[in-house]
């Protein structure tokens, strides 16, 4: 039972902790808080659980981490009883899993659905957060855990005419629950990131015609998805305790199958390296393939050899040489943008009902009543699908209008790029914790497991604060600078920071450019966070 408190003429419900978001991390936070006997509520904008896997229900949506790992570890009965159907789970399986967890642990009674937080204000007199929602509810809590997702705020290009379009338009991340009937329709798809690459074959299979509008081609590698047999699952389940521990000791919180070569690409003759790449291409899924050599993510020359191998694969899969060439990425290193994995993407361009339009050379200029106009041609369409990505990493925090100490606005504090400590806290906004925030490994590590880990760190911290009667706890600017130096040093060794993508904010006009996640690896990251806790949180602001 919450208690009520008068707040600026309105009644606010009072909790120990408000959790924002009922995705995998938010649900886990709520579960742990309830276990601890804390009064907690979870506020969720959607009408169901699952976060990313609730919103992104477009045809073909699928995770790129294998199912036996991309799942909760906190409850052994749960991980023993649940069965996955495919190596890479499709969205419906992940949403079903989220629903199962919510029911199994009775979480729904403490989740308020269709409740979008649009105001977070710190009350300095009481060291509490006041939380306001779009529908007018008010909540007060000492601590807030924002589990608002790294990829939640949809990016829709600001083209003139969108309101004039007489057909249907959808962003993939807000795909209607009842589905969309594309049969017999002329469909335009904008965007060729992971999402565009997943939805392309699905749309092509039903639409009368699919036109893919591509600005930048992506490197996509075969997912080699497969049904999961009982024996494989059983083997994992028998070894779960040990495997889960091993996962936390890896760079990306993922165990890869045994990758045989741990050598530089230049240790091989040209002929040998072609053989090695060919073997790896046929045996591994895309995410493992790019780890075939030790130096392709750091040495541009090594990278170019691997990239050209993949381009040749694209050329061999796509029959029309002009289309094949357009699909070959040539302006950035392989692995600089997030690698996509697919099931039949390139082959889809061999279908008679699919065409590719290069909107790098001839950009889209406006949406018309009947379709899209580029600087070269007009395209009549019945449906436009925006697979145009997200205002990633910072968008979901900034849109909540967060105001901290002395009226400081988070939007101002992050005006030149986000500043955080471990992606978990930001200076001037005490008692506010983020899960997978900017400056954390976030999407570069397996997010369910690392989300559990971060929530555990946050709850350990809250325990410490209560034991020591600390009512206000926050990061300092000095700590932010120290963490920024660590983030920058590790980033400078990778291709990510030199490539335009949502990783660096380059996909959103006007967004400050900075690598938004920590690339030093999950193990190193968790060492930093654990050290801070073990040392009694020295350096943090405490009152
Ligand atoms: O978004 P994106 P996404 N005119 O930003 C194009 C995760 N995910 O939803 O590259 C024309 O990658 C844009 O072009 P360009 C995964 O982490 C995972 O696909 O900016 N085009 C690009 O092609 C992934 O990385 C899975 O030139 C415009 C596309 O839209 C992340 O989500 C599946 C444009 C956006 O690509 C985001 O992926 C799906 C414009 N004005 C997603 N604006 C799996 O687990 C944008 N574009 C497998």
- The neighbouring-strand residues paired with 130 are 121, 140
Q: How far apart are CA 335 and CA 333, in angstroms?
A: 6
266: nearest Cα among 236, 295, 231: 295
How far does residue 195's CA lie from ligand 1's centre (Å)?
A: 6
Contact of 306 with 334, CB cutoff 8 Å: yes
Taking only the tens place, the pLDDT of each residue in 306-329 is 999 999 999 999 999 999 999 999
pLDDT at 260: 54
Mean pLDDT in residue range 395-414: 98
Name the residue of 194, 222, 363, 508 to mutate for ligand 1: max ligand atoms within 8 A of Cβ.
Answer: 194
- The CA-to-CA distance between both ends of the chain, in Å, stands at 28
291: nearest Cα among 332, 263, 333: 263
Taking only the tens place, the pLDDT of each residue in 55-97 is 999 999 999 999 999 999 999 999 999 999 999 999 999 999 9
Query: Pick the residue with more confidence: 294 or 139?
Result: 139
* ipTM of the modeled complex: 0.99
Specify the ligand 1 atom closest to the Cα of 159.
41
Which helix (DSSP H) or strand (DSSP E) does residue 384 occupy? strand 383-386
pLDDT at 3: 62
Query: Pick the residue with more confidence: 285 or 345?
Result: 345
Residue with tokens 């936390």: 248
- Using pLDDT thresholds of 50, 70 and 90, give the confidence band for residue 258: low
pLDDT at 288: 83
Over 80: is that where the pLDDT of 159 sits? Answer: yes
β-pairing verdict for 128-133 and 138-146: antiparallel
The finding on whether 215 has its CB within 6 A of some atom of ligand 1 is: yes
Which two tokens mark 285? 């899924």
User: Please, what is the average pLDDT of the chain?
Assistant: 95
Specify the ligand 1 atom closest to the Cα of 502.
5
pLDDT at 502: 95
Angle between helix axes 240-248 and 230-238 (nearest 10 degrees) is 70
Name the residue of 215, 367, 393 to mutate for ligand 1: max ligand atoms within 8 A of Cβ.
Answer: 215
pLDDT at 183: 98
The finding on whether 297 has its CB within 6 A of some atom of ligand 1 is: no
Over 70: is that where the pLDDT of 9 sits? Answer: no
The finding on whether 149 has its CB within 6 A of some atom of ligand 1 is: no
The finding on whether 451 has its CB within 6 A of some atom of ligand 1 is: no
Contact of 386 with 170, CB cutoff 8 Å: yes
Burial class from Cβ neighbours inside 10 Å (0-12, 13-18, 19+) for residue 398 reads: middle
Name the residue of 389, 396, 445, 508 to mutate for ligand 1: max ligand atoms within 8 A of Cβ.
Answer: 389
Over 80: is that where the pLDDT of 4 sits? Answer: no
Taking only the tens place, the pLDDT of each residue in 103-136 is 999 999 999 999 999 999 999 999 999 999 999 9
Which helix (DSSP H) or strand (DSSP E) does residue 473 occupy? strand 473-474
Alpha helices in 84-143 (DSSP H): 91-104
Over 90: is that where the pLDDT of 243 sits? Answer: yes
pLDDT at 8: 54
Contact of 88 with 68, CB cutoff 8 Å: no
- In percent, the amount of the chain with pLDDT more than 70 equals 97
Which helix (DSSP H) or strand (DSSP E) does residue 132 occupy? strand 128-133
β-pairing verdict for 371-374 and 378-380: antiparallel
pLDDT at 283: 83
How far does residue 344's CA lie from ligand 1's centre (Å)?
A: 18
Sequence-distant (6+) residues with CB within 8 A of 96 are none
How far does residue 272's CA lie from ligand 1's centre (Å)?
A: 35
Over 80: is that where the pLDDT of 257 sits? Answer: no
Over 90: is that where the pLDDT of 259 sits? Answer: no
b/e sequence 325-346, b meaning 16+ C-beta within 10 Å: ebbbbeebbbbbbbbbbbbbbb
β-pairing verdict for 117-123 and 402-403: parallel
Which helix (DSSP H) or strand (DSSP E) does residue 123 occupy? strand 117-123
The finding on whether 216 has its CB within 6 A of some atom of ligand 1 is: yes
pTM of the model: 0.96
């Amino acid at each position: 039972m919450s208690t009520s408190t008068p707040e600026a003429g309105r009644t606010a419900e009072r909790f120990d902790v408000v959790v924002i978001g009922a995705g995998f991390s938010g649900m886990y936070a709520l579960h742990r808080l309830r276990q601890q006997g804390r009064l907690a509520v979870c506020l969720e904008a959607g009408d169901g659980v699952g976060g990313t896997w609730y919103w992104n229900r477009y045809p073909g949506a699928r995770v790129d981490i294998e199912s036996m790992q991309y799942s909760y570890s906190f409850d052994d009965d749960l991980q023993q009883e649940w069965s996955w159907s495919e190596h890479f789970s499709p969205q419906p399986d992940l949403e079903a899993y989220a629903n199962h967890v919510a029911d199994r642990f009775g979480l729904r009674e403490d989740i308020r659905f269709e409740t979008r937080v649009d105001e977070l204000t710190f009350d300095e007199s009481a060291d509490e957060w006041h939380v306001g929602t779009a529908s007018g509810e008010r909540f007060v809590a000492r601590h807030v855990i924002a589990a608002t997702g790294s990829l939640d705020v949809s990016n829709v290009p600001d083209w003139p005419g969108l309101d004039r379009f007489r057909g249907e338009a959808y962003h993939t991340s807000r795909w209607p629950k009842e589905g969309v009937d594309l049969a017999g329709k002329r469909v335009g798809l904008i965007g060729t990131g992971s999402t565009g690459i997943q939805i392309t074959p699905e749309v092509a299979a039903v639409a009368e015609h699919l036109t893919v509008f591509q600005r930048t081609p992506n490197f996509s590698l075969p997912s080699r998805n497969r049904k999961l047999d009982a024996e494989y699952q059983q083997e994992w389940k028998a070894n779960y305790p040990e495997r889960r521990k091993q996962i936390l000791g890896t760079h990306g919180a993922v165990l890869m199958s045994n990758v045989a070569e741990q050598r530089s690409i230049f240790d091989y003759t040209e002929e040998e390296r072609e053989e090695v790449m060919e073997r790896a291409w046929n045996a591994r899924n895309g995410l493992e393939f790019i780890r075939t050599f030790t130096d392709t993510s750091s040495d541009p020359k090594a990278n170019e050899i691997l990239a050209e191998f993949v381009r040749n694969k694209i050329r061999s899969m796509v029959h029309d040489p002009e289309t094949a060439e357009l699909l070959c990425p040539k302006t950035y290193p392989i692995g600089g943008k997030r690698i996509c994995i697919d099931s039949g993407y390139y082959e889809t361009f061999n279908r008679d009902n699919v065409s590719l339009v290069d909107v790098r050379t001839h950009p889209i200029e406006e949406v018309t009543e009947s379709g899209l106009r580029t600087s070269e041609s007009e395209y009549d369409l019945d449906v436009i699908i925006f697979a145009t990505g997200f205002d990633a990493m910072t968008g979901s925090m900034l849109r909540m209008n967060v105001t901290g100490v002395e009226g400081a606005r988070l939007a101002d504090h992050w005006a030149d790029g986000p500043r955080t400590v471990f992606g978990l806290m930001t200076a001037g906004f005490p008692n506010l914790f983020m899960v997978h925030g900017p400056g954390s490994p976030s999407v570069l590590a397996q997010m369910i497991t690392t989300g559990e880990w971060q929530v555990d760190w946050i709850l350990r911290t809250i325990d410490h604060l209560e034991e020591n009667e600390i009512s206000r706890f926050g990061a300092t600017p000095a700590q932010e600078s120290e963490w920024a130096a660590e983030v920058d040093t590790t980033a400078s060794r990778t291709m990510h920071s030199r490539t335009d993508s949502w990783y660096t904010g380059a996909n959103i006009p006007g967004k400050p450019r900075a690598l938004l996640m920590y690339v030093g690896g999950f193990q190193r990251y968790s060492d930093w966070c654990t050290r801070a806790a073990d040392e009694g949180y020295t350096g943090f602001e405490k009152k």
